């Protein structure tokens, strides 16, 4: 079997046996496709360390960052380990390839004032504005990923206990508390707005005006529109709202383990980066307030 065939077999393995999310599968497919373009549709045993090194060097020449290269190398290592288990190759060509060095990059977050302006931007007297307000409030209140937000079902929301149960990475569910203000917006949408636009029996919580499933790209566009209306000049993505949720919780004294559980991070180390952002805030506050700072 040639490289293309083994890539398809590996992606099918990730989809069926490991149940990875569609977005993750797409990322693996993209990274492996670039390997295929670089070496051609050869037999896997013909790929050695020099091919992998050339691919990473080409990344630098084409402006691909170190984080993207590190992610690609991780995908390649998973692929070649799979080939070894299937006895398609005798050795792993990525084994001695060094991981690209990553500069420490703290997540950019919104200030409390910017979040307040963003939350107030939708016109809640209209059906669309009420839905948008419910989505933005819920995302900031619970730190959901955009894919989790748009795929929520009505059954995933427990208004009596103030909880939401999103389907996260690896098809794992978690319980996340929802604040009273966000819950009020979502409850109003569910009771007053959604019945007017729902067509038939749809399990999806947030629907487009035509009653269809709202896409990630659709939510991203409406978020950018409200950011502009709120006078937020820095680029705003749904993930920045998730970063803001985590950082603001830690600034308020939340436990790191609790934030990890709410975000759905498998590793505490992934969550710990937000403590640096919170500490920067403390240092700045100290510098402004202390007479001998």
Residue of 49, 77, 265, 281 marked active site: 265
3 state DSSP class of 3: helix
Residue of 242, 243, 248, 251 marked active site: 242
Residue of 131, 145, 240, 251 marked active site: 145
| Cα 103 to Cα 105: distance, rounded to the nearest angstrom | 6
Please write down the HEC assignment for all residues of 193-261.
HHHHHCCCCCCECCECCCCCECCHHHHHHHHHHHHHHCCCCCCCCHHHHHHHHHHHHHHCCCCHHHHHH
User: 29-49 as b/e, with b when 16 or more CB fall inside 10 Å?
Assistant: bebbebbeeebeeeebeebee
Residue of 128, 169, 216, 281 marked active site: 169
Give the DSSP letter string of 8-61: HHHHHHHHHTS---HHHHHHHHHHHHHHHHHH-S--GGG--HHHHHHHHHHHHH
Query: Is-catalytic flag, 239?
Result: yes
Query: Is-catalytic flag, 286?
Result: no
Query: Is-catalytic flag, 265?
Result: yes
Residue of 67, 239, 257, 286 marked active site: 239
- What's the Cα-to-Cα distance from 159 to each of 172, 182, 191, rounded to whole Å? 21, 11, 12
Active-site residue list = 145, 169, 239, 242, 265, 274
């Amino acid at each position: 079997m040639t490289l293309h065939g083994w890539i398809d077999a590996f992606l099918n393995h990730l989809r069926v046996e490991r149940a990875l999310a569609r977005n993750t599968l797409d990322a693996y497919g993209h990274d492996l496709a670039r390997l295929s373009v670089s070496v051609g549709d050869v037999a896997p045993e013909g790929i050695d360390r020099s091919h992998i090194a050339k691919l990473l060097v080409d990344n630098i020449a084409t402006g691909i960052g170190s984080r993207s290269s590190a992610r690609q190398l991780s995908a390649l290592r998973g692929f070649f380990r799979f080939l070894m288990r299937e006895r398609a190759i005798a050795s792993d060509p990525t084994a001695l390839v060094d991981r690209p060095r990553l500069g420490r990059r703290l997540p950019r977050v919104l200030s409390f004032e910017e979040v307040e302006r963003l939350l107030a931007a939708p016109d809640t007297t209209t059906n669309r504005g009420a839905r948008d307000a419910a989505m933005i409030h819920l995302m900031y209140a619970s730190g959901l990923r955009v894919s989790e937000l748009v795929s929520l079902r009505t059954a995933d929301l427990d208004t009596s206990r103030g909880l939401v149960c999103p389907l996260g990475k690896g098809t794992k569910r978690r319980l996340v508390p929802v604040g009273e203000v966000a819950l009020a917006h979502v409850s109003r949408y569910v009771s007053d707005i959604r019945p007017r636009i729902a067509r038939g029996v749809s399990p999806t919580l947030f629907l487009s005006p035509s009653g269809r499933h709202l896409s990630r790209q659709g939510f991203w566009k409406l978020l950018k529109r409200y950011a502009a209306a709120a006078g937020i000049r820095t680029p705003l993505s749904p993930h920045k709202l998730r970063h803001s949720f985590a950082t603001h919780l830690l600034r308020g004294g939340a436990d790191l383990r609790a934030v990890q559980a709410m975000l759905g991070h498998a590793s505490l180390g992934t969550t710990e980066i937000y403590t640096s952002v919170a500490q920067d805030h403390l240092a700045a506050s100290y510098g402004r307030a202390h007479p001998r700072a």
